[in-house]
A and B are shown apart, each in its own frame.
Chain A
Amino acid sequence: MKWGVVRFPGSLDDLDALHALRDLLKQDAELLWHKDPSLHGAECVVLPGGFSYGDYLRCGAIARFAPIMQSVAEFAADGGLVIGICNGFQILCEAHLLPGALTRNRSLSFICDNIYVRIENAATPFTRAGRLGEILRLPIKHGEGCYAAPVNELAAMEERGQVLLRYVDAEGRETDEANPNGSMRAIAGVANARFNVFGLMPHPEHAVEKLLGGEDGLKIFHSIIGAAS
């Protein structure tokens, strides 16, 4: 499967995503430059973690205007698969490709930790390799990961099954302590209504081999690979 990983000025996890895709999953993956509108035939576009354009104004707000983002929006409108991780999630929200927004963590602190999420919908291109209710252990590292959306929109999203990942504790319980950043409804990852665009704050690309402390992130990538074939 052909993958494109977008590099913005300030991207940090582009090479990690590339490593996961190329070296571990044996995928045909290449970096895409933010100023080049071509997606080079990618079947799935990854917006990686890190920062973009200094994240001035709001995280992801300026990256949305990068030349490549117009192509990403058209690709998504045609049903193409797009996954945004951390800053990539923020960009997708700012670009209106996903509902809601990411705001400052409740604690006001940058959090770097391993957390647990529960798969809330396993019938999507991004989660189909997992089971409904399965717990994944993934790393997070962000200062602005508190998910917020208008209350009526949240209810509609839940109804449609757009909440794919929710923060829980190791036993799968939804507790306030298990919600690291204060996200509404403990939301860690959401899809659009068409289920071809997905954003999440945890980093699956940092959890792809035992050496890195876990392999649960592979579930996300295996899902996408399975969905495309």
Chain B
Amino acid sequence: MQARIYVTPRKGILDPQGRAVEGALKSLGLAGVERVHVGRYIVVELDAPSRPAAESLVRKMCDELLANPNIEDYRFEVDA
């Protein structure tokens, strides 16, 4: 199975990378850019007996290491 995990800066936390990229995109003259958030994309290949088991495993990975709950949010998708 494969889990694709997206870790993003939590709302209200400074995201200077997002702001810098946002400024750069705007200076390219591309219309419509409002806000940019820069995060992390993690792919985990895993072995689990079922999809719910995999999801609970990935949630544990995120809570304990892959994301820092003080400053980051995460979401993920799991497929076979």
Q: How far is the CA of A105 from the CA of B12 in the complex (A)?
A: 15
A104 touches B71 (CB 8 A): no
Asked if B36 is at the interface of the complex by the 8 Å CB criterion, the answer is no
On chain B, the residues within 8 Å of A58 by CB distance are: 68
Q: How big is the B interface, by class?
A: 10 to 19
A182 touches B70 (CB 8 A): no
What CA separation (Å) do A94 and B70 show in the bound complex? 10
A190 to chain B, nearest CB (A): 12
- Given A108-B20, A148-B70, A150-B70, residue A103 in contact with residue B13 (CB < 8 A): yes
Q: Give Cα A209 to B14, complex, Å.
A: 36
B16, B17, B20, B68: the one within 8 Å of A101 (CB):
B68
Instruction: With both chains docked as a complex, state the minimum distance between the C-beta of A200 and any C-beta of chain B, in angstroms.
Output: 17
Residues of chain A lying within 8 A (CB to CB) of residue B68: 58, 61, 94, 101
Interface positions, chain A 117-172, Cβ under 8 Å from B, are 146, 148-151
Per the 8 Å Cβ criterion, residues 7-66 of A in contact with B are: 57-58, 61
Interface residues on A, range: 20 to 34
Give min CB distance, A114 to chain B, whole Å: 23
| A107 in the interface (beta carbon within 8 A) | yes
Cβ–Cβ contact B66 & A103, under 8 A? no
Contact A151 B12 (CB under 8 A): yes
Whole-angstrom distance between the alpha carbons of A8 and B70 in the complex?
24
Q: How many A-B residue pairs have CB under 8 A?
A: 37
Is there a chain B Cβ closer than 8 Å to A80's Cβ? no
B33 at the interface (CB under 8 A from A): no
Q: Is residue A194 contacting chain B, with contact meaning CB distance below 8 A?
A: no
Query: B28 near A: Cβ within 8 Å?
Result: no
What residues on B are CB-neighbors of A149 within 8 Å? 70
Task: Type the 1/0 row for A62-74, where 1 means its CB is closer than 8 Å to any CB of B.
Answer: 0000000000000
State whether A100 and B16 are in contact (beta carbons under 8 Å apart), knowing that A57-B65, A61-B65 are contacts in the complex. no
A101:B70 contact, CB within 8 angstroms: yes
Check B17 against A104 for contact (C-beta < 8 Å): yes
* Structural contact, A148 and B13, CB atoms closer than 8 A: yes
A99 to B14 Cα, complex, angstroms: 17
Which B residues are in CB contact (< 8 Å) with A148? Answer: 13-14, 70-71
Query: A104 to B71, alpha carbons, bound, how many Å?
Result: 11
Min CB–CB distance B49 → chain A (angstroms): 26
**A173 at the B interface (CB under 8 A):** no
Q: How far is the CB of A223 from chain B (nearest CB, A)?
A: 27
B contact set with A: CB distance below 8 Å: 9, 12-14, 16-17, 20, 65-66, 68, 70-71
| A binding-site residues for B, Cβ under 8 Å | 57-58, 61, 93-94, 99-101, 103-108, 146, 148-151, 182
- Return the 5 tightest CB-CB contacts between A and B, nearest first: A101-B70, A101-B71, A108-B16, A148-B71, A101-B68
19 inter-chain pairs at a CB distance below 8 angstroms, sorted by A residue, are: A57-B65, A57-B66, A61-B68, A93-B70, A94-B68, A99-B70, A101-B71, A103-B9, A103-B13, A103-B14, A103-B71, A104-B14, A105-B16, A108-B20, A148-B13, A148-B71, A151-B12, A182-B14, A182-B16
